[in-house]
Chain A
Amino acid sequence: MDKRTGNKDGWPVVCTPVRYTYQSVVKDVTNRLLCFVTLLLTSGLLAANPFVLPPDDSPPMGPAPVAQLEQLDGLATVASENWNVSAIRRVLQAFAFGGHATEHQLQVWAAMQPEQAIIEMLRFDVVNPRLSAMDGARSSGPTCGSLRALQEFWGSEHVRNPVQQFDRSYYGPLDEEGYQLNPIGLFLTWNRAMHTRGCNGFLHKTAFYLTNYHASIHIQNTFVALMRDYYDQTVRALANGMDFEGLMYQAARSGALAVAYGHTASYVNPQTGKFYGNDDFAREYFQLLFGIQGTTEDPEYHEGVTIENNARLLSGMLIDVEPDRFGSQYTPDWLVNEIDFSDHTDAAGRQIFNRTLHHDFRLGEASCLEILHEPICGATADDKLRALGPVAAAHPESMASTPLKLIRFFADERLTPQKSAALQAAWADAELDLLHFLRGYAVSTQFHDPARVKHWSSFERNLNIFNATVLDNRESFARPFFLGPTIPTLNQGGLVFAPIRDVFGGQTGNDAANDRYVFKNGWGVSVATPEYLAVDRLQYQLTENDAPRSWVKQWQKVIPQSTSGGYVIEEVAEWLWDRIIADGGAHFDVLARAQVYSLLATGFDFASVASPEDLDRVYSSQDLIEGPASDFLDELAGMSMDFADPLEQIRVGLAVNFISMTPYSFVSGTYPVPEEAE
């Protein structure tokens, strides 16, 4: 019993409608989402029904690209013998939340040269069918390039909308009163996009990094419309091939950042030349967007000239208002992300003097400010930001730190001086081409080094596991939102667009690893709510008048059969382990095998079947390497699964729950297991 709420489940049982206030949105979304879970889990929604899947109508793959990646300075390409399915899974987990490639596709990539395969694997196209094929009619379609479009589609009554009736209002753009844009819908939509086939996980993970970690802002400071526009604009820019400098320029000139940091109100009095504003983003532009701390600069110059002048540069950035935008009545939703830097009248009839209120506006293009020892000239803040971008991107501190920030986020938190130097050389060689740099790293010996260590953030860990567990879009859309990754991730400290350090970014892998509540709540997912990963059937309606539809899990569609044609426990276990952990079985020790074999073979833990007189017996590795328990384990390993038995789906689900809570699900690394423990 929770003594605070009087509720034995620990959550309020009455779902009170709440008008969103952005200061309380994080708390509010937690309570609301979990409140609905509490109510709905008891509503009979999870009914069981037999079901037959329709034939697969996935579109055929596109023509095979023939391009090959050009190797970057500092990075050597991984040897072919180390390029295998496990290596490919590791790439996809690091860069694409695991992706949705088929087992066949993984084999095809493993047979290719890494430099060729990576071009197919990591692309910034809105849809990359080899990584995540549009799954028949049950896809998001081309709307995957925009959260706004996805919200409008998934929240609609469109005849092709695959979202079930029950869920639609949660994804819709407006809140239930139709008053304002709905932050909960945005959170849910992003998470669903990450696990919907047809959406490019690599594109979105990169956009997630840029907007939630690198040039990070918090929805509390921007409101929904600007945050969503900022994200969508970033996705579009990546898809259009914009380089790193272009991406930073676009972020710096955006209304979202101007509102989040407050420099939208900065101006220079055209009569007196006096500046009115703050230096917040003037400082963070260098520190966060380009990694320039000023440590190689004279401190007085950096503080007194570069930062102060950059504050003046950021004048004349008032953003437009478009009344009734998105059908919202809430004025912050009317703010327009794309700043018009001219003197003009906006859609609300306001006279805006972004040109006149900029520094030295009378000088026009000859209006200059000294920043980073260079004259930065232009008639507007936009012109000057365009001029400053190349200077900042080429600054030695930026060249040194930007590649390290990228790789620490995606793949390696223990960069040695040697690794760092190699990455810096590669970044210089890539000439600000983000895609080239990430691809080059993803097939490098540095990424595939067994000593590499990357702790997963809660976003990454939960999405990697979920994408390995949910087998197709039928399952994805059959699951109501509360059986998706949003709530587990939230309970483990991760909420998209609400970075825990605000402009300094979201939860890192180190944060998650060092937080015992992340571990405790992850344990709770596997133990207290095993249905999250093990649900085997669901019933739902697409529309109110639609006949109930059913979905049943079919693990046998993806689990490879043994050469003899059956499903041998040992082989299924090893495949399942690698699908989730992606270590090629390096850590699949005998104690883990005992539990997974037993769960797959019986649906019970090892002690329940090997020593039922002592359910809490703890076995050592030695117990299972020789002696009676070892023989028993061998017996389990050799058994076959029979997927005619519907309970096999549950047993696989239990094994997934176990594997996904082992220590190896929290870290990407391929440390070899010490021989003596094998």
Chain B
Amino acid sequence: MRRRDFLRKAIGLSLAAGGASIAPLSAWGQACESSVMPRTLVNFMLHGGADLRYLFMPAPSHFDSLYLQRIWPARRALYGNEYANYAQMFDQEYLLTTDPVSGLEFGVSRHAGWLKSEFDAGRVAVIANAVCSQNRRHDQSILNADTGLPNLEILNFDRSGWGGRLVEYLAAAGRDGTNAVEIGPSVSTFNKGSQPGSRLNQVVHAQDMRDISLAAADPDNPGSARSVLSRALSAYYKGRGPEVASANSADWPYHTFFNHHDAISAFGEQVEARLNACLELPEELAQLQLSSPEFAQQCRNLFDVCQVPDALGLGAVSMSYGGWDTHDNETAEISSNLTDIFGDDAGLATAMNAIRNLPEGPIPAASQLMFYFASDFGRQLVVNGTSGTDHGRGTYSIFLGESVRGGVYGEMFPASEARPDQDGLVPLQTPGADIEGLTSTDQLLLAASNWVEPGAGEVVFPDAGSAIVEPGFNPGNLFS
């Protein structure tokens, strides 16, 4: 056959045959079916090492007057020269609240008004003196936090995360197709599974829940370049994928991309079609304006995740917010961050309000979410010379959800920070001193995993049993 004839024939055939054989995407459209929202942990990572001592400060009425005497000069530089004394600063910068367990009064930063409301409603647990790593290095500590292995010293990101291990447990326990869902811009180690070479097998990346499928052929124009390339690539991935799946070892690097294709093809169209049949984004979420547009998108994604949990195989969620490495100019940076996340009418307040207003299924979706706020590490107690704080270790851990037994756990403002240590140094007067870590976060996460599924914690955190816990605190009591 001469090529010219061949071309003419081929093109004619293609154009004539194409339209009828390509099912339009709208065929996926179905009614929005409400589905049961499973208990879901949301790992919320504050990248950079958050100074959560800024978030919580003792009330001027704090019983330990020496502590008050010493924390003010240690932290005063964060608040500029505006305030004559601690009480004046506290009155302007903090909202007074009371721990329902101990009766301790303390302050929550005014920038976190919604968090304070949630605490007052009994939906927030603050665990003092928590520690998730033994070092002060960002990369290593983030790995420690994401893997749930506080003592890990090897800097190798090809490891399983505790979220990945949790969804593997859930799948093994009968929840087939359970996934860790990353709703931030990049998939964190938290999500990764335990099989080298296949660590993303149970991960859904939902950076934008409303834009999650592959560009497809144009059903109205099967001869267009778009349609031609869509068919060519789809045919290649579908044809070649099964062949290479079994013919190559697990660490064959190209598996990843065949898997991406299969996952997005199977998932993306279905999720998008389901969402199109469900509620549109509420106006306040659609129009949400935050300092971090990226975080605003995560809030939208969280709402949509709660609309179609079954389509996602929801088992765990990963969110994040960066910008906590506040070596200088801390107040401006941390205020902005806290406002975005915890402010009245800001990110989480808007998302959770929308989720609470979802049509009620058998179990309200909002009641099934449990947020865990983690960070690389805590920061030093004494403000440095550039109105910021340097890397420390101990910090506060925070859980937020309706199943939390709200309150403060551990000594919120340790008296030892205001008194000489064995070397005669007072931590609140010593540059370099940090919050002493007394409770390992893997103990907390073991309990949280058991809240999701009884028995999960001991499997996901096999070494947590021997980890440290502050005397008098039982992590098993955190959740109802």
Contacts and interface: CB of A to CB of B under 8 A. Distances in A.
Contacts of A591: 235-236, 239-240
B238 A618 contact: yes
B385 interface: yes
Interface stretch (B55-63, B222-230, B397-405, B457-465): B222-230
Interface stretch (A61-69, A339-347, A553-561, A601-609): A601-609
B18 interface: yes
B291 A308 contact: no
Contacts, number: 244
Interface string B286-297: 100001011000
Contact of A615 (B17, B205, B233, B257): B17
A534 interface: yes
B153 interface: yes
Nearest to A657: B229
A612 B260 CA distance: 28
Contacts of A639: 3, 6
Contacts of A592: 236, 240
A640 B3 contact: yes
A602 B233 contact: no
B330 to A, nearest CB: 10
A543 interface: no
A217 to B, nearest CB: 13
B83 interface: no
Given A523-B233, A605-B235, A613-B17, A504 B10 contact: no
B3 A605 contact: no
Interface residues of B, number: 87
B291 A612 contact: no
A159 interface: no
B222 to A, nearest CB: 6
Interface in B290-336: 291, 293-294, 300, 322, 325, 327-329
Contact of B385 (A24, A278, A493, A666): A278
Given A279-B384, A615-B21, A667-B254, A606 B136 contact: no
A617 B137 contact: no
Interface in B233-254: 233-236, 238-240, 243-244, 247-248, 252-254
Given A617-B235, A677-B243, A526 B229 contact: yes
B3 to A, nearest CB: 5
A654 B228 CA distance: 9
A671 B253 contact: yes
A119 interface: no
A453 B390 contact: no
A606 B239 CA distance: 12
Interface stretch (A107-115, A203-211, A384-392, A514-522): A514-522
A510 B231 CA distance: 28
B207 A601 contact: no
Contacts of B253: 453, 455, 513, 667, 669, 671
B13 interface: yes
B172 interface: no
A72 interface: no
A70 B99 CA distance: 70
A280 B384 CA distance: 10
B210 A262 contact: no
B225 A534 contact: yes
Q: What bracket does the count of chain A residues touching chain B fall in?
A: 35 or more
Contact of A280 (B3, B212, B235, B327): B327
Interface stretch (B261-269, B354-362, B468-476): B261-269
Nearest to A526: B229
Contact of A517 (B157, B205, B327, B386): B205
A280 B186 contact: no
Contacts of B421: none
A528 interface: yes
A661 interface: yes
B471 to A, nearest CB: 25
A661 to B, nearest CB: 6
A646 interface: no
A619 B239 contact: yes
A261 B155 CA distance: 23
Interface string B88-124: 0000000000000000000000000000000000000
Contacts of A293: 137, 140, 155
B232 A278 contact: no
A663 B239 CA distance: 13
Interface string B180-193: 00000111000000
Contact of A519 (B228, B239, B264, B291): B264
A599 interface: yes
B11 A602 contact: yes
Given A308-B432, A654-B225, A608 B236 contact: no
Interface in A611-669: 612-621, 635, 639-640, 642, 650, 654, 657-658, 661-664, 666-667, 669
A295 B136 contact: no
B260 A519 contact: yes
Nearest to B224: A530
A2 B281 CA distance: 11
B419 interface: no
Contacts of A602: 6-7, 10-11
A291 to B, nearest CB: 11
A276 B247 CA distance: 62
B82 interface: no
B327 A527 contact: no
Contacts of A524: 214-215
A263 B229 CA distance: 52
B1 A635 contact: yes
Interface in A455-508: 455, 493, 500, 502, 504
B327 A620 contact: no
A337 interface: no
Interface string A432-459: 0000000000000000000001010000
A104 interface: no
Nearest to A31: B293
A228 B66 CA distance: 50
Contacts of B225: 530-531, 534, 650, 654, 657
A581 to B, nearest CB: 11
B456 to A, nearest CB: 25
Interface in A248-274: 261-263, 265-267
Top-6 shortest CB links A-B:
A276-B385, A612-B13, A663-B257, A605-B232, A262-B328, A609-B10
16 contacts: A3-B210, A4-B286, A265-B328, A267-B385, A279-B390, A280-B390, A308-B432, A516-B263, A517-B208, A520-B264, A520-B268, A527-B226, A612-B16, A612-B17, A619-B239, A657-B225
